[in-house]
Amino acid sequence: MSRKSDWYPAKGRVILHIDMNAFYCSVHEAVEPAKYRGKPIAVAGSVELRRGIIVTSSYAARKFGVRTGMQVREALKVCPRLILIEPDFALYRTFSHGFRAIVHEYSPLVEVVSIDECYADITGSSQFGTPLEIAEQIQRRIGEEWSLPCSIGIAPNKLLAKMASDLKKPNGITVLRLRDVPKVLWSKPCAELFGIGEKTAAKLRQLHIHTIGQLATAEQSLLIKTFGVHGIWLKKAANGRDDDPVRADRTISKSIGHTTTLPRNMDNLADIRRVLLNLADQVTRRLRQQELVAGTVQIVIRDPHMKTVTRAETLPAPTEHADDVYKTAVRLFERTWRPDNPVRLLGITLQNLRLRKDAPLQLDLFAYENQPKKEKLTRTLDAIRDKFGEDAILTAGMLEDDPRKPDKG
């Protein structure tokens, strides 16, 4: 398929499944690459690590036989050099919000399945390119902006997208069409079909149904007799059929963020402030588009050695204005970063979001008198951008020799 229109059918859907690879371990590798990257590491779910259970392991550890659910003492036997890490769920949530914010830029129809995976319906996203190009952009940006590997499946439904993302790990992209199902899936055991557990697979074996292909061609009456109405789904799924739509989260966004990888290592504070100003401008514009205000500002900093640091500050009152976010971001940066340490990536994420109409604004007398003028100016500038494009209005940081106009993130 070479034409974009060939990828987007008049009837039907195009679904992505984005699955982060060894997510918890990958987050620790991103934050402390010198300590963890490429090494056999595992996150264990107990303070008493040696008595705990392996929650997940890196691909380097898996080569030694370390697996999820294995007791730590057993894992240490098969891999004596295994590095054990206690879980840090606040850190994982930050990175989860980060990669999902990137996905949301390509479609509003995003269904979060867990902390490390989501579906995206990109049927209406042809302006960003073909589905393969969109998947490549998402994968590249998650890698560049968050230093995380992910696998992406592209298919006409959620079931096949999920199956496709599992075919190439880590960092794979797989297209799986309905016509590919017999060749790609039918030779696999039934237990490998998403949605079939070991108990169901055991019952299918009792019926002499061992492969997905045998299930696809089995008598539906036999399946209904054994499994009830679930038997209808089993046969449909084995044939690659799935009618379940992507159920976008209709609740308020948990975070909105922008991240930019700088074209060069940067240690000049004036340049860094200008990048933060641009980021604050972009992220608050998206905030206002959703009629939200933010209660917390978080910054992300990465150095040339890929060490990532995040810092956050809760605001005295919710805001939607770039200057509030910018001042907080600069304060966090200057409080955190050493002057002699260059920066390669910067980001701002707004958290603790709530609807603007539900957020009481705490204003002093000066702010109270000037707030209507400030809001009117902000709305006017937003309206100009909506009509004439983002470049119709430039912040001070976008003028002259801008060190970096930020990418979305």
Catalogue the active-site residues: 117
Q: Which of 285, 355, 267, 368 is nearest to 325 (CA)?
A: 285
Q: Which of 355, 268, 270, 262 is nearest to 300 (CA)?
A: 262
Q: Which of 308, 312, 300, 304 is nearest to 341 (CA)?
A: 304
Task: Determine phi and psi for 309, rounding to 5 degrees.
Answer: -125, 135
Q: Tell me the torsion sign for CA atoms 336, 341, 342, 345.
A: negative
Contact 272, 319 (CB under 8 A): no
Give the whole-angstrom CA distance, residue 263 versus residue 259: 13
Give the whole-angstrom CA distance, residue 176 versus residue 179: 8
Task: Determine phi and psi for 80, rounding to 5 degrees.
Answer: -60, -25
Count, residues in the chain: 409
Give the C-alpha distances (Å, rounded to integers) separating 138 from 87, 129, 299.
26, 12, 21
Give the whole-angstrom CA distance, residue 67 versus residue 55: 8
Contact 374, 361 (CB under 8 A): no
DSSP state of 252: P
H helical segments located in 185-321: 198-206, 212-216, 220-227, 230-238, 269-289
Structure tokens, 298: 């978080």
